[in-house]
Amino acid sequence: MQLRTTFVSLLAPAIVLAVPPETMNPIQRQAHLDSFEQVWSTVAKRHYDPKLGGLDWQKVHDELRPRVEKAANAAEVQAILGEMLARLKQTHFGIVPAEVYSDLQSGNKGGGTAGVELRLLDGKAIVTGLESGSPGEKAGVKAGWELLRVEGKDVAPVLQKITTAFKTSTQLDLMASRRLQSFLDGEVGTTVEAVFGNGVTSTTLRLQRTAPRGKMVTFGNMPSMPFWVEHRALPGQIRYLKFNIWFEPAVVAEAFQASLKDSETCKGFVIDLRGNPGGIGGMAMGAAGWFTDKADLKLGTMIMRGTTLNFVVFPRPSAFTGPLAILVDGCSGSTSEIFAGGMQDIHRARIFGSRSAGAALPSVFERLPNGDGFQYAIANYISDGGQPLEGRGVTPDEEVRPTQRELLLGKDPTLDRALAWIQRPAN
């Protein structure tokens, strides 16, 4: 019996990863052929657009099937399947090698982190933040430092490969960030040697890996992942809320409620979605309701095969209607994009930061007969303004991308710009 597992995800897309070559026996070859057929037929039957945008899917099948039959190893088959899915010209369609897919199902086996947030800035691996009390902070790592080497290996060549592969994609920042974080992640209790530079000198540190911030949560068959939320008051009677993923609806709702307590004294609100890759799509509707008292609004429309789901906003009786700033960056994806783009379209928020990841589609993972994982989108999403977010992302009203120098000086220019807008005198 074929093992089949699925889970729905509003996170970022899968990546086709290479595996070492192998010689296939007849049983393995048949499994690869069956996998090819399953991928092809799944797209034909379950893609939200029955016409696939005019693509002749049968012709694609007939062209690529003979190449699978002649493939020498699993890596070639994965490459052919990747080529087939690439013709859809959409993200959230990909193949994950068997051993990687097993890791995905079981979660990160290491689970340890140094608490150092890294982003790609001007082609460099730059520290953009540190978790309070984390090993990185205790070791003296500073925002604005560049990660140069990890365990003796240079970071630059890896970044160059990622930049080349995703140079025309809105998901460059997201893919680079994920790869950069993996440099420092590993088993809890182990250490990692990292060399950082500040533009003048370099510093070598050995960082202890600890359990990640927050609590581990699960959704459906997805692997466990850390979740945290923080909210605080900022000077000038401004409230600030940030959470790392759209999970735990009740906890996030409590955070909104606590932040908006005595909202009549609140002069403005900041929701920080930088680095938030998505999660449960429906939470965007609930979050929007805290910030509008108008009925008959929607954030956008999700189009599935045979049905349509409107992301309707349900206003709360004591909604906050003052200035609302939403912060995004290239690592803000999926539900974060639905919320930010939708609030922008209904003219309820001003968006600050850099263009989001353009990875808005909900998707499913399945195990193929050859053991690989297959990710495919089950819906399309159109913002209320009529634009797809997939492959485009949310364009901020005020483009702000921090520089290494600003970070070295301890500044957060994106947040600063949002606060300046909130505090601007009314006309």
pLDDT, residue 99, reads: 64
Query: Which H or E run contains 364?
Result: strand 363-367
Q: Which CATH architecture has domain 114-208?
A: Roll (2.30)
Burial 22-36 (b: 16+ CB within 10 A, else e): eebeeebbebbbebb
pLDDT in the model for residue 154: 97
Domain boundaries, the chain: 8-106, 114-208, 215-361+379-423
d(CA 46, CA 61): 16
Report the distance separating Cα 177 and Cα 331, nearest Å: 8
> Which portions of the chain are predicted below pLDDT 70?
1-23, 91, 99-109, 220-223, 426-427
- How does DSSP assign 146-203, residue by residue? EEEEETTEESHHHHHHHHHHTTT-TTHHHHHHHHHHHHH-EETT-EEEEEEE-SS-EE
**Can you tell me the distance from the alpha carbon of 358 to that of 347, in angstroms, rounded to the nearest whole number?**
20
Asked whether the beta carbons of 198 and 165 are under 8 A apart, the reply is no
- The pLDDT tens digits for 224-253 are 789 999 999 999 999 999 999 999 999 999
φ, ψ of residue 230 to 5 degrees: the values are -140, 145
Residue 192: alpha-carbon gap to chain centroid: 25
Q: Is 192 left (phi over 0), alpha (psi -120 to 50) or beta?
A: beta
Q: State the fold for domain 215-361+379-423.
A: 2-enoyl-CoA Hydratase; Chain A, domain 1 (3.90.226)
pLDDT at 384 (0 to 100): 84
List Cβ neighbours of 197 (8 Å cut-off, separation of 6 or more). 145, 146, 148, 203
